[in-house]
């Protein structure tokens, strides 16, 4: 086991929430704050931060070129770091928090049942197990539909690997979700993801902002498993 990624949470001054009304800043939206949750391997420290929390993800390497997370840790570390940063600002500043934003390892995914329990470990963006599936499905047609050239990073080929090597997993899955969708589900009860997140999985048609029927079979998925993504500005709950 080794640590390859972190969860960061921070409270920052929102950059774009100052409306211009008749040449003046709108007092209605002034001084609002955003709680950012970043699930990834780089720290992003932009703008003015009032508090910061951090937790590490233990990663499993079950075989050569295979990298996995226990998806429960995605939520546990998010919850822990959100609680940590909320404990640091003054009550006044905590009352100014207007939203929680999520960024994450976009190509990582895991299958879940209806109760939110993972059916296997999450497979990470750098996992290289699907070389055979890349050769089989990595056509120019798939590239044209998804906007993603064939390679290790898009999740579509690793989804095909799971279907072929662990068929019972997807057969029992309620949803196959990226990290964003799972965290949003735990926070709000709604398993939703953004277009920017779903696009990186390689199963979405970026021109239609939806999971296309041409790509889902390549990943051995039915459309309900990966729901239509929402706009990045969509308010989850």
Q: How many domains does the chain have?
A: 2
226 in the same domain as 119: yes
Beta strands in the chain (DSSP E): 2-13, 20-21, 24-25, 33-40, 49-60, 68-69, 97-104, 109-112, 122-123, 175-178, 204-205, 210-211
Per the domain annotation, does 110 fall within a domain?
A: no
Contacts of 69 (CB under 8 A, 6+ apart): 5, 57, 58, 59, 60, 108, 110, 121, 122, 124
123 in the same domain as 38: no
Burial of residue 60 (number of CB atoms within 10 Å: 0-12, 13-18, 19+) = middle
**Tens digits of residue pLDDT in 84-104:** 988 988 899 888 888 888 888
Q: What is the pLDDT of residue 6?
A: 58
155 in the same domain as 133: yes
Per the domain annotation, does 19 fall within a domain?
A: yes
227 in the same domain as 121: yes
48 in the same domain as 3: yes
Q: What is the pLDDT of residue 69?
A: 95
Q: Average per-residue pLDDT in the chain?
A: 77
195 in the same domain as 90: no
CATH of the domain at 128: 3.30.420.40
Q: How would you classify the pairing of strands 33-40 and 97-104?
A: parallel
Integer-rounded Cα Rg, in Å, for the chain is: 19
Section 1-13 average pLDDT? 55
227 in the same domain as 119: yes
153 in the same domain as 92: no
Q: What is the pLDDT of residue 200?
A: 73
Helix (H, G, I), strand (E, B) or coil at 25: strand
163 in the same domain as 92: no
Give pTM, 2 decimals: 0.77
131 in the same domain as 42: no
Per the domain annotation, does 64 fall within a domain?
A: no
Q: Which two tokens stand for residue 187?
A: 């926070």
**Tens digits of residue pLDDT in 106-144:** 899 999 999 999 999 999 999 999 999 999 999 898 888
What is the 3-class SS of 182-211, one letter each residue?
A: HHHHHHHCCCCCEHHHHHHHCCEECCCCEE
Greatest C-alpha distance within the chain? 62
Q: Which domain does 131 fall in, by range?
A: 115-231
220 in the same domain as 162: yes
Rounded Cα–Cα distance for residues 104 and 97 (Å): 21
Ramachandran angles phi, psi of 74, nearest 5°: -60, -45
């Amino acid at each position: 086991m080794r640590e390859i990624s972190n969860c960061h949470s921070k409270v920052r001054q929102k950059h774009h929430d100052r409306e211009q009304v008749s040449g003046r800043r709108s007092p209605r939206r002034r001084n609002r704050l955003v709680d950012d949750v970043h699930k990834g391997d780089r720290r992003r420290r932009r703008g003015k931060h009032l508090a910061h929390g951090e937790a590490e993800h233990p990663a499993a390497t079950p075989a050569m070129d295979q990298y996995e997370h226990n998806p429960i840790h995605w939520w546990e570390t998010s919850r822990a770091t959100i609680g940590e940063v909320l404990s640091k600002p003054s009550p006044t500043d905590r009352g100014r928090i207007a939203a929680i934003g999520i960024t994450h390892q976009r190509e990582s995914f895991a299958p879940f049942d209806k109760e939110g329990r993972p059916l296997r470990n999450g497979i990470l963006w750098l996992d290289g197990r699907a070389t055979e599936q890349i050769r089989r499905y990595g056509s120019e047609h798939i590239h044209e539909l998804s906007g993603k050239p064939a390679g290790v990073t898009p999740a579509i080929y690793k989804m095909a690997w799971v279907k072929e090597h662990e068929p019972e997993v997807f057969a029992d899955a309620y949803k196959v979700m990226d990290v964003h969708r799972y965290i949003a589900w735990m926070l709000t009860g709604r398993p939703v993801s953004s277009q920017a997140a779903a696009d990186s999985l390689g199963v979405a048609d970026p021109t239609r902002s939806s999971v296309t029927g041409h790509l889902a079979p390549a990943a051995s998925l039915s459309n309900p498993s990966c729901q239509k993504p929402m706009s990045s500005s969509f308010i989850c709950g």
